[in-house]
Structure 1
Amino acid sequence: MLRRVTAHLELDLAGETNMVFSVAAAHPASIVSESVSFELDGRSLTATELVDSHGARLHQLVSPGGRMIAHYTAEVAGRTDPTPVSDLDLVTYLRPSRYCESDSLTPTARSEFAGLSGHALLSAVTQWVDDKLSYVPGSSLPTDGAEQTLLARRGVCRDYAHLVIALLRALDVPARMVAVYAPGLSPMDFHAVAEAYIDGAWWVVDATRLAPRQSLLRISTGRDAADTAFLTSHWSDLRLTALEVLAIVDELPRDDGLELVQLG
């Protein structure tokens, strides 16, 4: 499997801004070739790469005001081995978080999925969220969490993932969010899915069913969208004026939705 990914961002910075970009393929991807660049009004800027505990590669830089262009491209061969499991992860990803209010949704989860466990539970939650929500671009706010998504009955990929994660945590299943490149996604964009810990491993859960899970490429991993945003900024206002994402694979897998899949 050979995946080719690109992310192109254009931004207007009102003044000096501290930015963290999360667009690079996470370690330990088998990167064949890669480039990352940042330009302000045509002048090259250098970013510092930081790597978190899940292998997410964050590029941080401080820039004066002006017109910024950020560009990332990579070719990744094959699939990586499953991510290691730590005891701390299994504690962290059981807790409620800002966008995954598992404590509020516990009565709903227990009512809807009573008696289910293991992979049968993952399948049931995936189908339930798919049935309950409509995928409507632009229908949710960046501050919406799983509870608001369920009330609105619509959202985008991050909203689907938040609801899946909240329901699973409410049922004592560790679950987390992953930002990915998703070959086959239409319209193309960054994508968000859930990972759930069952039977000693992390499994991909994507209730949107918009792209085959077998070709997803991990960018970042965390509690919810607060940990996996492709860009965070501080100090001055910025405006994202253009965003282009491309993810292709040499042979697009067929995902029947029933196979157990791990991110690689």
Structure 2
Amino acid sequence: MWISATCLLNFNIPVATPFIFMLRPRSGWQQWVGREQYLLAPSVPTVEFTDPFGNLCQRLVAPAGQFSVQTSFEVETAEFSDAAPGAPFVEVQQLPEDTLPFLLPSRYCESDRFSRLAQSIVAGCLPGYDQCSAIVDYVRGTTTYMPGAGQQIVSACEVNMMPQAVCRDMAHLGIACCRALSIPARMVVGYLENLQPMDLHAWFEAYVGGRWYTFDPTQDNLRGGRIAVAYGRDAADVAIYTQFGDPVDLLQMDVSVARLSGAQL
């Protein structure tokens, strides 16, 4: 299926301010970027680089005054996310090297503090995919998804004591529990078709059965229609923008996602 996504960010900049944006999806085996547009107003020189996780990052200095970033994409992606009950656990010594950073504790995913809880959650499950599914059920069963409930980023330990959380924080808890079982897990930020209310979305992927699989504690079923924009160890690695220096005001953020028919491509 093909879907289009747009994101508009409108800032009030008090003084010239350095930014790093992470707004461009990249093509890969799970998605293909057919068209894209990236507009800055006013236009300023921009340098793009790839971070250690393969994310496309745009570096610029925004001038004082009103400044906006508008992106739009048309991406071919799966209508349904793959599920693989029974996919086996991969022994650490057999893991690809690029998955190893996603085994370690990180700022918001304190996996070293979840060993006992994770073991109790997955008791009786086959090692691998089924353990990840049990973890998702635990997160969904103990924490209510509440969009807009938290502007401050919280860690997995904090989320585990909260009755409600946003998608980002629920992903942190799922990631920490997976890593506690030596299953590589990474955060993903991007777009999800039919998300209500519409916004950028966060979920996680776990490496089992020789590949990455999608898990989303906020959704009752494993829906597709996703565009991944950024991957990282946790929210600290996948911010859609990072500004340096004096605070700036984000005046507006509008996100839209729509399915395209073949005739529109």
Same fold, judged at TM 0.5 (above) = yes
* Superposed displacement of residue 60, structure 1: 1.2
Q: Is the 8 A contact 1:185 1:210 kept in 2?
A: no
Letter in 1 for 2:143: L
Q: Is the 8 A contact 1:184 1:212 kept in 2?
A: no
Residue pairs, 1:14-53, within 5 angstroms: 14-28=14-28, 29-39=31-41, 43-53=42-52
TM-aligned CA distance change 1:115 to 1:212, over 3 Å: closer
Q: Give the SS at the match of 2:103.
A: coil
TM-aligned CA distance change 1:92 to 1:209, over 3 Å: same
Residue 145 of structure 1 is matched in structure 2 by: 155
Q: Give the SS at the match of 2:168.
A: helix
Q: Give the SS at the match of 1:218.
A: strand
Q: Is the 8 A contact 1:16 1:235 kept in 2?
A: no
* Superposed displacement of residue 90, structure 1: 2.4
Structure 1 residue 248 corresponds to structure 2 residue 248:
no
Whole-Å separation in 1 of the counterparts to 2:162 and 2:76: 40
* Superposed displacement of residue 190, structure 1: 0.5
Residue 3 of structure 2 is matched in structure 1 by: 3
Whole-Å separation in 1 of the counterparts to 2:27 and 2:98: 17
Q: 1:221 aligns with which of 218, 223, 231?
A: 231
Residue pairs, 1:92-107, within 5 angstroms: 92-107=101-116
* Superposed displacement of residue 212, structure 1: 5.2
Whole-Å separation in 2 of the counterparts to 1:31 and 1:201: 21
Structure 1 residue 70 corresponds to structure 2 residue 79:
no
Q: Structure 1 residues 142-151 or 105-114, which shifts more?
A: 105-114
* Superposed displacement of residue 211, structure 1: 7.7
TM-score (norm 2): 0.85
Residue pairs, 1:90-239, within 5 angstroms: 90-116=99-125, 117-209=127-219, 213-239=223-249
Q: Is the 8 A contact 2:192 2:224 kept in 1?
A: no
* Superposed displacement of residue 141, structure 1: 4.4
Whole-Å separation in 1 of the counterparts to 2:208 and 2:95: 14
Whole-Å separation in 2 of the counterparts to 1:249 and 1:140: 29
How many residue pairs match? The answer is 244
Q: Structure 1 residues 158-167 or 134-143, which shifts more?
A: 134-143
- For structure 2, the residue ranges without an aligned partner over 5 or more in a row are 83-93
TM-aligned CA distance change 1:138 to 1:223, over 3 Å: same
Q: Which runs of 4+ in 1 moved over 6 A?
A: none
TM-aligned CA distance change 1:135 to 1:78, over 3 Å: closer
Q: Is the 8 A contact 2:5 2:191 kept in 1?
A: yes
CA deviations 1:15-64 (Å, max 9, x no partner) are 1211111121223453322110111xxx3223212223544221110122
Q: Is the 8 A contact 2:77 2:225 kept in 1?
A: no
